[in-house]
């Protein structure tokens, strides 16, 4: 059975003005959106640290799932990342999901899963990352999903049903009254595009990255676009 379609919004981790990211997070949570994403680029001088920010936002919000849109493993070694993920998972009651997208992905995921295995001592061997008797912990409260970019054929080869894979589309755009192009138009146009993506290519999660006026755009997305998409998907094709 296909996964339910989720909707969310991105929070920009700008350090200034102080408190803006928190205000956006509270808005997303109050609107009932399911996903809150934060990009992870530690080398950006204008950005707060993503994992510190995620922890702070987790303490301020109550329902939304927290998702880093990328985790740079060369800057965040997988053993350390695994502990950070598990800690935040436990503190938030499983309201976050990791995502890795790097060249050394297979080796890194092996390390992360080993750190979550509950074993007393963990050893792994890989070309990029390895552990030599590390004592992991604490373990996550539940099995955490790890998002991996794969096409359907590769998913089937790995023994996965493609319909059970979460496919997230980050959409940069705005919702103005008049159309100026794809994802640059009214809510009805957005809804039409999103429904087509669900039905044609199996996308099942959409995260808006407002290009301006974040508060108004996120509110319009939640109040106008999301209900229209859900209503259209509920109708028979």
Question: Residue 7 pLDDT > 70, yes or no?
Answer: yes
What would the pLDDT profile of 185-233 be if each residue is shown by its tens digit? Answer: 999 999 999 999 999 888 999 999 999 999 999 999 999 999 999 999 9
Query: What is the average per-residue pLDDT within 123-144?
Result: 73
DSSP labels, 204-216: -EEEEEESS-HHH
For the chain, what is the mean pLDDT? 86
Sheet holding 65-68, edge to edge: 65-68, 35-38, 6-10, 205-210, 168-173
Instruction: Report pLDDT for 136.
Output: 80
192 vs 104, more confident: 192
* Per-range mean pLDDT, top range of 39-43, 113-117, 167-171: 167-171
Please state the pTM of the whole predicted model. Answer: 0.77
d(CA 28, CA 120): 39
Question: Residue 27 pLDDT > 80, yes or no?
Answer: yes
β-bridge partners, 6: 205
Instruction: Report pLDDT for 103.
Output: 38
Instruction: Name the nearest CA neighbour of 108 among 140, 147, 162.
Output: 147
Instruction: Report pLDDT for 43.
Output: 84
Question: Residue 140 pLDDT > 90, yes or no?
Answer: no
Binned at pLDDT 50, 70 and 90, residue 99 comes out as: very low
Lowest-confidence segment of 8-12, 37-41, 91-95, 108-112 by average pLDDT: 108-112
β-bridge partners, 68: 38
Going through 48-204 in order, the beta strands assigned E by DSSP cover 65-68, 122-124, 131-134, 168-173
Instruction: Report pLDDT for 100.
Output: 36
β-bridge partners, 14: 47
What are the chain's domains? 6-95+165-234 (3.20.20.30)
Return the C-alpha torsion angle 196, 199, 201, 202, nearest 10: 120
Question: Residue 32 pLDDT > 60, yes or no?
Answer: yes
- Residue 10 burial (C-beta neighbours within 10 Å; 0-12, 13-18, 19+): buried
Question: Residue 80 pLDDT > 70, yes or no?
Answer: yes
Q: Left (φ > 0), alpha (ψ -120 to 50) or beta: where does 183 sit?
A: left
Question: Residue 150 pLDDT > 60, yes or no?
Answer: no
Instruction: Name the nearest CA neighbour of 74 among 26, 8, 129, 36.
Output: 129
Binned at pLDDT 50, 70 and 90, residue 101 comes out as: very low
Q: In this structure, what token pair is assigned to residue 21?
A: 């990211």
Instruction: Report pLDDT for 108.
Output: 74
193 vs 44, more confident: 193
**HSE on the CB side for 194, CA within 13 Å?**
34
Instruction: Report pLDDT for 151.
Output: 59
Instruction: Report pLDDT for 127.
Output: 60
Residues 6+ apart with CB under 8 A from 2: 163, 202, 204
HEC string for 24-93: HHHHHHHCCCCEEEECCCCCCCCECCHHHHHHHHHHHCCCCEEEECCCCCCCCCHHHHHHHHHHHHHHHC
């Amino acid at each position: 059975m296909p996964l339910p379609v989720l909707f969310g919004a991105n929070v920009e981790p700008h350090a200034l003005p102080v408190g803006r990211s928190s205000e956006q997070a509270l808005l997303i949570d109050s609107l009932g959106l399911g996903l809150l994403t934060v990009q992870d680029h530690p080398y950006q001088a204008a950005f707060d640290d993503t994992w510190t920010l995620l922890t702070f936002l987790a303490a301020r919000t109550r329902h939304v799932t927290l998702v880093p849109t990328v985790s740079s493993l060369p800057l965040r070694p997988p053993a350390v990342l695994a502990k950070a993920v598990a800690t935040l998972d436990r503190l938030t009651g499983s309201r976050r999901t990791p995502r890795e997208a790097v060249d050394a992905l297979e080796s890194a995921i092996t390390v992360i899963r080993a750190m979550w295995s509950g074993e007393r001592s963990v050893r792994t061997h890989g070309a990029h990352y390895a552990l030599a008797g590390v004592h992991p912990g604490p373990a996550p409260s539940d099995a955490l999903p790890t998002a991996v970019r794969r096409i359907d054929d590769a998913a089937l080869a790995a023994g996965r049903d493609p319909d059970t894979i979460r496919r997230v589309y980050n959409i940069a755009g705005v919702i103005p009254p008049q159309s100026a192009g794809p994802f640059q138009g009214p809510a009805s146009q957005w809804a039409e595009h999103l429904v087509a993506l669900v039905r044609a290519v199996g996308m099942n999660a959409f995260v808006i990255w407002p290009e301006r006026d974040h508060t108004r755009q996120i509110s319009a997305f939640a109040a106008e676009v999301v209900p229209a998409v859900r209503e259209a998907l509920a109708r028979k094709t």
